[in-house]
Structure 1
């Protein structure tokens, strides 16, 4: 009786004894949005970025403090003994002096520009934090679909192993009845051993993918909801590279942050230049102490005029005109010029990189659309070719090597198809990140295509492929 090898049979015969393949109850499966929420709540890198932003934002009140009043108070307790020529001419005085000083900057150009630079740096820090938060959306999706990709890859390698095992059994049967020689058995055994090794490696890749997800979220996951094959594979909207580049130029978060970095460098340059400018402060002081402590009794006339506690108040303006500081200010100006040039060049480099990434990702998504369809058709064609080769082997027109090669091509096309699906999903998200529009809503939009009862051993292929392959084998044009 003629036996055909199909994907459906291979999947049905795939080994199911591995512990990871035991599907957890539906209530324990995790969806994409939940993974992102766990990452947002527990990711160490994001927590560090938030702490960094809070620390960097303190530069604003620190810079503002230089323009606000400065008030200080203190007390001084002293005991002064004076001896002239002999102990008989010894005098002493002691007492407590209380004092308070107030200073209010009136004209401090350097501190004003320092405040402007600090505010620009604060905006830069806020945008960089937003970029980190946006990056976490993509990282969550990448880690999530890396698990699904690895699971589908393992499912295909299990099916491939089962197919090679069936081929090995068939070769042994044919050898036992004299229809083939030992070479066929050895070739089939080699194919089976290779498929088994690939399945072991694929199992480790699943475990590695789950570990990466745990690292991202600090949470354990038993199973994830899979993506349905009904997910629409569509070109980006709008399908215009220039429109995406224009959006990226206006909304890319890292590019916006670089604009504020340039602004901060410009304000810092102004601050350094203003080091040549005069400064003007209003100053006031108050002192209170006894006559001796304040030093009004140094001579007889003062001693007669002042006795007991004395209060002293003063208020005035203090002007400072910088003349020469050893070349420090000029050196700082030159340094700031170069820092400004550096920040402008870094911004230009980033702008070019953003344009390049946006254009590349736009092309990648359009390529993925065509690739997914081509890979799907490749599975159908390879399955039909395998079944035809199997028939040829049964009647003696093909050899075992032809069959094994056809099997390898089939399962290679399966893995290429699933890789193309996940590449399409992730490249779409990367394109939106490059354009600065990526948000948690994009993950929520994928939720409707997640399948809570997804089983990689059964669902790693579109359900209509077996029928399509059979139709192609028979030459039905509707497929």
Structure 2
């Protein structure tokens, strides 16, 4: 299935928008600095070790032992006589003595048959695959999180710019109303109305400044880069989803979504875990051999060497109901994993359809938003001319200004919603890669403009 990425426009970090610190560079920086991805990598690396541990259960075990112990002996007949019975003499002190016993051993245990170990090895393969899928899902999530953080910064900057412009426009209307009042051409109510609109914008500007600073901090948390930001171009290409059918995207989500794959593999591993526990019912057969040597005094028989090799079978007939309980636990965990897989798949399908509809609706919203901005700008100009001609009031002009800036903010936001949904749609289908960020960098503003960040000062 061929997926065509929607062209994404986003800010570039750096002094020059065409050079370093592009979106791709920011993503690569986040690969080395993002704590969420670092944690996912550690989880993957830990899970990979499950397989060699399971394989070790089927490989030979060699154990070397050595010991030394000081022992005290009292031989039988220590109080009797020794020598010629016709000329007895008391037993000497050698009948009571101390000696050091040293033992050395080398033991080999090679499993020949173990249902539990065989099933554990099969389960480990599923667990490793699940961990790898989960890590790839985290990689795609990082791409999306970096892009969304860029969008959040740019959206906050656009919102701040619109609020500042709105405040300046209301400020100009306040000055105009005051001049009319001073010349006797206006009423005080006009000044008060303009002043009320102007006052309300103060909080909006303050809030949008804080929102911009917070959005930048969120981006820095991942990239650890503090550089300038370049805005979007004025016009962005609007690309419909390809393939055009939502069913095709759902198929791609079911087959290629890494989160869904990880959940499915986790359920398969849990199902294999039931077989692992049931394997404890069966006997185990192993080849066991040993080499041993014991050093003791000659009076106790001297050094001894014992070597052995043989096959040992063990069958746990009854373990107090432990295995039966563990089997029920494993079956319950499998049901849990299967339910989580079903939920993850359904959620992915829902998110895919939401992103697909978001792209389609985003195209319409951007086009209609652009028309709304133009229409409201015309309404502002008409109201301004009407006030000068005396056919409109200042209140009509204030309302026209309010509608214009509301339409402008909605238009700005519709662009980022469209871009966000375009990336989310690819991420749900498991198709979001660095190549999409390269396409983003190719669509950046190239006029040298940069977003000015507000000063971060304590209140």
Settle same-fold status: TM greater than 0.5: yes
In the alignment, which residue of structure 2 is the partner of 1:249?
254
Deviations 1:140-199 (A, max 9, x none): 101111111111111111211121121111111211121111010111112122223322
Comparing 340-349 with 71-80, greater Cα deviation is found at 71-80
Question: Helix, strand or coil: the match of 1:280?
Answer: strand
In the alignment, which residue of structure 2 is the partner of 1:48?
39
Indicate yes or no: 2:321 matched with 1:327. yes
Instruction: Select which of 346, 355, 359 maps to 2:349.
Output: 355
In the alignment, which residue of structure 1 is the partner of 2:26?
35
Question: Helix, strand or coil: the match of 2:226?
Answer: coil
Report the Cα offset of residue 29 of structure 1: 7.7
User: How many Å separate the matches in 1 of 2:235 and 2:140?
Assistant: 27
In the alignment, which residue of structure 2 is the partner of 1:185?
191
Question: Helix, strand or coil: the match of 1:283?
Answer: strand
User: How many Å separate the matches in 2 of 1:358 and 1:449?
Assistant: 25
Question: Helix, strand or coil: the match of 2:306?
Answer: strand
Indicate yes or no: 2:201 matched with 1:211. no
Moved over 6 A (4+): none
Report the Cα offset of residue 457 of structure 1: 8.1
User: How many Å separate the matches in 2 of 1:29 and 1:415?
Assistant: 30
Instruction: Select which of 393, 414, 417 maps to 2:387.
Output: 393
Deviations 1:209-252 (A, max 9, x none): 1111111112212x112221232112111111100000000000
Q: Cα–Cα, structure 1 residues 171 and 197, in superposed 2: closer, same or farther, change >3 Å?
A: same
Report the Cα offset of residue 452 of structure 1: 3.9
Instruction: Select which of 110, 132, 143 maps to 1:104.
Output: 110
Report the Cα offset of residue 104 of structure 1: 0.1
Comparing 284-293 with 403-412, greater Cα deviation is found at 284-293
User: How many Å separate the matches in 2 of 1:124 and 1:54?
Assistant: 12
Could you list the runs of 5+ residues in structure 2 that have no partner in the other structure? 1-12, 80-94, 453-459
Q: Cα–Cα, structure 1 residues 25 and 260, in superposed 2: closer, same or farther, change >3 Å?
A: closer
User: How many Å separate the matches in 2 of 1:24 and 1:182?
Assistant: 50
User: How many Å separate the matches in 2 of 1:443 and 1:427?
Assistant: 15
Q: Cα–Cα, structure 1 residues 49 and 441, in superposed 2: closer, same or farther, change >3 Å?
A: same
In the alignment, which residue of structure 2 is the partner of 1:81?
72
Report the Cα offset of residue 402 of structure 1: 1.2
Report the Cα offset of residue 87 of structure 1: 5.5
TM-score when normalising by structure 2: 0.88
Indicate yes or no: 2:146 matched with 1:140. yes
User: How many Å separate the matches in 2 of 1:275 and 1:130?
Assistant: 34
In the alignment, which residue of structure 2 is the partner of 1:464?
none
User: How many Å separate the matches in 2 of 1:212 and 1:261?
Assistant: 32
Contact 1:287–1:311 (Cα < 8 Å) also in 2: yes
Report the Cα offset of residue 309 of structure 1: 3.2
In the alignment, which residue of structure 1 is the partner of 2:92?
none
User: How many Å separate the matches in 2 of 1:456 and 1:69?
Assistant: 66
Deviations 1:353-381 (A, max 9, x none): 11111111111110000000000000011
Instruction: Select which of 431, 434, 442 maps to 2:425.
Output: 431
User: How many Å separate the matches in 1 of 2:154 and 2:14?
Assistant: 15
Report the Cα offset of residue 91 of structure 1: 6.0
User: How many Å separate the matches in 1 of 2:137 and 2:403?
Assistant: 42
Instruction: Select which of 437, 440, 447 maps to 1:446.
Output: 440
User: How many Å separate the matches in 1 of 2:338 and 2:434?
Assistant: 32
In the alignment, which residue of structure 2 is the partner of 1:168?
174
Indicate yes or no: 2:71 matched with 1:70. no
Q: Cα–Cα, structure 1 residues 167 and 433, in superposed 2: closer, same or farther, change >3 Å?
A: same
Report the Cα offset of residue 25 of structure 1: 4.6
Report the Cα offset of residue 93 of structure 1: 4.5
Instruction: Select which of 290, 295, 312 maps to 1:290.
Output: 295
User: How many Å separate the matches in 2 of 1:407 and 1:364?
Assistant: 29
Q: Which has the higher helix share?
A: 1
Report the Cα offset of residue 445 of structure 1: 1.0
In the alignment, which residue of structure 2 is the partner of 1:468?
none
Instruction: Select which of 26, 29, 36 maps to 2:16.
Output: 26
- Within-5 A mapping of 1:414-425: 414-425=408-419
Cα-Cα RMSD: 2.1
Q: Cα–Cα, structure 1 residues 172 and 124, in superposed 2: closer, same or farther, change >3 Å?
A: same
Could you list the runs of 5+ residues in structure 1 that have no partner in the other structure? 1-22, 459-479
Report the Cα offset of residue 313 of structure 1: 0.8
Question: Helix, strand or coil: the match of 1:393?
Answer: helix
Question: Helix, strand or coil: the match of 1:35?
Answer: helix
In the alignment, which residue of structure 1 is the partner of 2:457?
none
Contact 2:16–2:448 (Cα < 8 Å) also in 1: no
Question: Helix, strand or coil: the match of 1:226?
Answer: coil
User: How many Å separate the matches in 2 of 1:117 and 1:189?
Assistant: 71
In the alignment, which residue of structure 2 is the partner of 1:278?
283
